[in-house]
Structure 1
């Protein structure tokens, strides 16, 4: 199958960022589910079984912490049962984000909210174990989550959570036309990538070391989409994406940035390599 047109690599200066010295990120894995590579990206094999990650990222910042997505929740079995039979897959649940936070003595009053890359079940399920934690969403994703059939699980787990709606400034960021600087220091910047869902976002994080990450949600399900320059198979584009053309455009934007940062599709286990797990020692040092 033909690859996407190769974009020119990004050569302009990187956006200015001033992350505080104690900013850090941690990987909180909550489980996996099985998908064939042939269903994940064009050119994948049916014999290649991929174990899709269901994970969260904790961003620790002195002005308050954020979770990027929520992973599987305590009620994941019920949540899977809410899905159409066609899309249910064998899964393995681990510890919820809430269990992992509590196990290391994390102070919940540090948590400003859960920032969803989008509202699909495997990103929102864990909200059921984080009662009272605000949900950060933009207007487009709020509308999608409230009405789209794929928002069923989100609508089940979100009651009781305050919604903190954010918007985007007309400030370009790495080829994206608008952005939202969460802390005002360039360390965590959101851009709209409204193709998979109408309010999907990419979260760019810059660490004090200068290392950069892009948490791209479901722009592509596996790093193969970036490395092979391919999008989803035709049928999956039709079924899974609100705007396949927008997904392709934003995928090309990320391909152009590949040499500058670690790109993390939400469901690629290997993409999280190098991001530490949260430990009690890390929590103690941050106090």
Structure 2
């Protein structure tokens, strides 16, 4: 099956970013589940088993911290039981994001919220172990999560959480038409990429070293989708994506950025390599 046409590489200047000293990001792996590569990306093999990551990423910032997604929660077994039987998969759990933060003496009062790339169960499950933490969503995703069949787990675990609804402005960012600058310093910028769910987002993060990351959620499930310019298999896209045409356009935009920044699909475990675990910052919070 032919890959997508290769887009022209990004040659424009990178947006201004002024991440403050002390800002950092940390990986909080909460578990994995298994799927076949053939179900994850076109051209994948049924013999190739992939361990899909279920993770959160902590953005530590002097103006307050954010989690990007929440990973698996304490009630993950019940959450998986709420899914249609054909999409349930073998899974392994470690510790929830909340448990990992508590283990290093983290002050949860620093946590401004959980910024979801989208509201599907494997990104929102961990909200059940982060009581009182606001959930950051845009209006499109809030509507999707409130009514779509795939928002069932979100609607359960978000009970008791305040919803912090943010909006995009008309400033383009790296080929995307609109954006939201979380801290106003260019260090964390959210763009609308509403192909997987109607309010799906990509979170661009720049750290003080100058390294840049694109946490792309489920724009593609594996980095193969970027490096081989391969979409999801047709049936999986039909089942999982709200707007496959929009998703394809946004995937091409991200493909054009490869080499300019580090692209991290939410479920590709290897793409988190090099991002320190939260345990590496234990002394910071004790």
What TM-score, normalized by structure 1, do the two folds share?
0.98
Q: Which residue matches 1:148?
A: 148
Q: CA deviation at 1:286?
A: 6.1
Distance between the aligned counterparts of 2:23 and 2:98, measured in 1?
21
Checking the alignment, whether the CA contact within 8 Å between 2:104 and 2:285 is kept in structure 1 is no
In 2, the alpha carbon distance for the partners of 1:273 and 1:93 equals: 19
Match of 2:92 in 1: 92
1:283: how far off? 4.2
Q: Secondary structure at the match of 1:284?
A: helix
Runs of 4+ in structure 1 deviating by more than 6 angstroms, as ranges, are: none
Q: Which residue of 2 aligns with 1:272?
A: 272
In the TM superposition, what are the counterparts of 1:240-255 in structure 2 within 5 Å?
240-255=240-255
Taking the TM superposition and a 5 Å limit, the aligned residue runs for 1:82-231 are 82-231=82-231
What is the match of residue 284 of structure 1?
Answer: 283
Contact 1:73 1:127 in 2 (8 A): yes
Shift, 1:237, TM fit: 1.0
* Cα distance in 1 between the residues matched to 2:271 and 2:64: 25
Do structure 1's residue 262 and structure 2's residue 234 form an aligned pair? no
CA distance in 1, matches of 2:211, 2:192: 22
Report the Cα offset of residue 87 of structure 1: 0.4
Offset at 1:43? 0.1
Q: 3-state DSSP class of the match of 2:156?
A: helix
* Maintained 8 Å contact 2:182/2:188: yes
Count of aligned pairs: 286
On the 8 A contact 2:105/2:285 being kept in 1, the answer is no
* Alignment-derived partner of residue 74 in structure 2: 74
How far apart are the structure 2 equivalents of 1:222 and 1:45? 13
Distance in 1 between residues matched to 2:230 and 2:246, nearest whole Å: 14
Displacement of 1:285 = 3.1
TM-score, normalization: structure 2?
A: 0.99
Give the RMSD, CA atoms, in angstroms: 0.8
Secondary structure of the corresponding residue to residue 33 of structure 2: strand
| Counterpart Cα distance in 2 of 1:253 and 1:111 | 31
Structure 2 unmatched runs, 5+? none
Unmatched runs of 5 consecutive residues or more in structure 1: none
SS at match of 2:259: helix
Distance 1:94 1:286 in 2: 22
Return closer, same or farther for 1:17/1:286 CA change in 2, 3 Å cut-off. farther
Residues 75-118 of structure 1 deviation map (CA, whole Å, 9 limit, x = unaligned): 00000000000100000011000110000000110000000000
Secondary structure at 1:260 match in 2: coil
Is 1:51 aligned to 2:51, yes or no? yes
Q: Indicate if the aligned counterparts of 2:124 and 2:153 stay in contact, CA closer than 8 A.
A: yes
In 2, are the aligned partners of 1:53 and 1:266 still within 8 Å (CA)? yes
Residue number in structure 1 paired with 2:20: 20
> Alignment partner of 1:109: what SS?
helix
SS at match of 2:203: strand
- SS of structure 2 residue aligned to 1:99: helix
Give 1:282 deviation, angstroms: 1.7
What SS class does the counterpart of residue 42 from structure 1 fall into? coil
